[in-house]
Amino acid sequence: MTTATTLLDAITVRESDGRAIPDAATRETIGYAPVHGLEDLDAAVGAARGAQPAWAALGHQERSRILHRIADDIEARSEELAVILSREQGKPLDGPNARFEIGAAAAWTRNAADTVLEPEVVFENGTSRAEVHYDPLGVVGAIGPWNWPIMISVWQIAPSLRMGNAVVVKPSEYTPLSVLALVEVFNAHLPEGVLSVVVGDREVGAAIAKHPGLDKIMFTGSTATGRKIIESSAQNLARLTLELGGNDAGIVLPGTDVSKIAQDLFWGIFINTGQTCAALKRLYVHDSLYESVVDALSDLASTTPMGPGLEAGNVLGPLQNQKQFEIVSRLVDEARSGGATVVTGGTPAEELGPLFYRPTVVADIADDASLVVEEQFGPVIPVLRFSDIDDAVARANSSTQGLGASVWSDDVDAALDVAARLQAGTVWINQHGALNPHVPFGGTKQSGYGQEFGVAGLKAVAAPKVISR
Ligand code: NAD
């Protein structure tokens, strides 16, 4: 019998058996995460294969009921989950951050419970009839990133379970505790073996991608890793859903009331301190509004509270890890030395902790600057000028990535016209990055393929089977 009274006690191991996981803001050790290897992966896949048929046989109604109980439990333990997430990932409790992420985890779990995927009649002529039915695939391998570790794990786990699959999840090596805590809550309600977590590094991730016991890989992470997963899946022919990197463009059209959009524009860029796949990462502003947009964003960037996540009132946090801190610092330094103007920020906020970087607005920057071409994944926005809308659309579409995009305008018809011409999986009007569990989400171009959420998300973790008569 376990004597653990808190989630953190339940998921951490003794120092001698684990790996120290630092608080992203203070760098103090939160606890020790287990270290799993390839044998642990094989054991988890074996348990999942053993448990999956009975889980599938429970039927949709029962699985849906269990998922609702899990969502209730996520809500009941939300503060505990939010504190672990805030410390490990760095995002503050307040604002659109840790508490918000736990709320989303519950909401997406309920959505997976409530969404119905009926068989579809695709042909009928009086004498013959063909229907598409959706069976479980078997065992799903879920590989996640460190930026929204709990919410993104739920996106992968909940629909997979709903469709009758078992799941083996591998969190990012930077955020294992958040996912272990989430899985602990799920597993209080699931039969043994249906959901396991393997806390491994890249080697374990690579082994998941080619594991013969897995039928589907749900991957969220960088485009570079996505490419490796595609190569590995040649071996097991696992189905893939790839949610990869983004370099989302936003376009502010002439005639827009900047004061009305400034707050939403700011959070579209700086949500999770910029460490969000579908955050706004390049902003194109019409000449007539350029100075006022730069000023409005700079005002918000320099006044929005940043600091350790557990301190009430902070809504921006540190970069999650040293590698990301170095990427952000390099991109800003290169922009500066290339002649761009750093209007606000542009330096580490050392007084707050080693991984804090001031919210930064960069103006007068060239299209070929690395800060424009590469994904910064941090609290920095390059603002570019345009005078011709066709030119702005062409520059927005020039990226190899195509996750999201946005158009900002008081004239919705003009915005819709531009939206139709942008190459992205989602185009938002007067918002950026807002997600809805009913609405499919996924990338185009090198931002990946496959969609998550709602009915499309259930289809992505199911095996279509045609029954013809
Ligand atoms: P990453 O690709 O470095 O790591 C993601 C996961 O892949 C980790 O769990 C890692 O251990 C694992 N991994 C590493 N090498 C592997 C391999 N060879 N085979 C299998 N798995 C392997 O990404 P990250 O730095 O954790 O996340 C940041 C990136 O993720 C950004 O580019 C961001 O845009 C993207 N992202 C995309 C979405 C989306 O929905 N499209 C959401 C969040 C993050």
Residues 30 and 138 in one domain: yes
DSSP letter (8 states) at residue 357: B
Radius of gyration of the chain (CA): 23
Same domain, 113 and 170: yes
Looking at the structure, do residues 19 and 38 belong to the same domain, yes or no?
Answer: yes
Q: Is residue 304 in some structural domain?
A: yes
Phi/psi at 231 (5° precision): -60, -45
pLDDT at position 5 = 79
Reference 294, options 303, 284, 279; nearest CA is: 284
Helices (H), 215-257: 223-236
The CATH number for 409's domain is 3.40.309.10
pLDDT confidence of residue 1: 44
Cβ-contact 437, 453 below 8 angstroms: yes
Tell which phi-psi region holds residue 433, choosing left (phi > 0), alpha (psi between -120 and 50) or beta. Answer: left
* Residue 79 forms part of a structural domain: yes
Q: Which secondary-structure segment (H or E) carries 42?
A: helix 38-57
Same domain as 129, residue 65: yes
**142 bridge partner residues:** 169, 218
Same-domain pairing of 268 and 412: yes
Let me know if 39 is a catalytic residue. no
Residue from 41, 198, 202, 211 whose mutation best tests the ligand 1 pocket (most atoms within 8 A of CB):
202
Judge if 253 and 281 occupy the same domain. yes
Same domain, yes or no: 454 and 411: no
Characterize the bridge pairing of strands 341-344 and 360-363: antiparallel
Which residues, including other chains, have CB under 8 Å from residue 9's CB and lie 6 or more apart?
Answer: none
Residue 337 CB burial class (10 angstroms; 0-12, 13-18, ≥19):
exposed
Is residue 295 included in any domain, yes or no? yes
| The total number of structural domains that make up the chain | 2
**Beta carbons within 10 angstroms of residue 370's beta carbon:** 17
How many whole angstroms from 144 Cα to the centroid of ligand 1?
6
The half-sphere exposure of 203 on its side-chain side, counting CA atoms within 13 A, is: 6
Whole-number Å distance, alpha carbon 73 to ligand 1 midpoint, is 28
Within a domain: residue 230?
yes
What number of other Cβ atoms are within 10 A of residue 79's Cβ? Answer: 12
Q: Are residues 240 and 261 in the same domain?
A: no
Looking at 243, 291, 334, 374, which residue is catalytic?
243
Ligand 1 pocket, 169 CB below 6 A?
no
Model pLDDT, residue 281: 98
d(C-alpha 444, C-alpha 249), whole Å: 14
Residues of the chain with pLDDT under 70: 1-4
In a domain, 442, yes or no: no
- Domain range spanning residue 349? 248-429
Residue 247 Cβ contacting ligand 1 at under 6 Å: no
> Based on the domain organization, do 72 and 182 belong to the same domain?
yes
By DSSP bridging, strand 426-429 and strand 18-22 are unpaired
* CATH code of the domain in which 61 resides: 3.40.605.10
Same-domain pairing of 23 and 162: yes
Q: Residue 4: what pLDDT? A: 55
Secondary structure (3-state) at 144: coil
Residues 109 and 257 in one domain: no
Q: Rounded CA gap, 11 and 20, in Å?
A: 13
196: in domain: yes
151 within domain boundaries: yes
Q: How many CB atoms lie within 10 A of CB 141?
A: 31
Q: What one-character DSSP code corresponds to residue 75?
A: H
* Span from the CA of 330 to the centroid of ligand 1 (angstroms): 20
- pTM metric for this prediction: 0.97
With a 6 Å cutoff on the Cβ, whether 309 touches ligand 1 is no
Q: Are residues 422 and 313 in the same domain?
A: yes
Q: Does residue 410 lie within any of the structural domains?
A: yes
The torsion of the CA quartet 60, 63, 68, 74, rounded to 10 degrees, works out to: -140
Please spell the DSSP secondary structure of 276-315, one letter per residue. Answer: -TTSEEEEEEEGGGHHHHHHHHHHHHHHS-BS-TTSTT--
Question: Could you tell me the end-to-end alpha-carbon distance of the chain, in angstroms, rounded to an integer?
Answer: 54
Q: 384: closest CA among 261, 278, 259, 247? A: 247
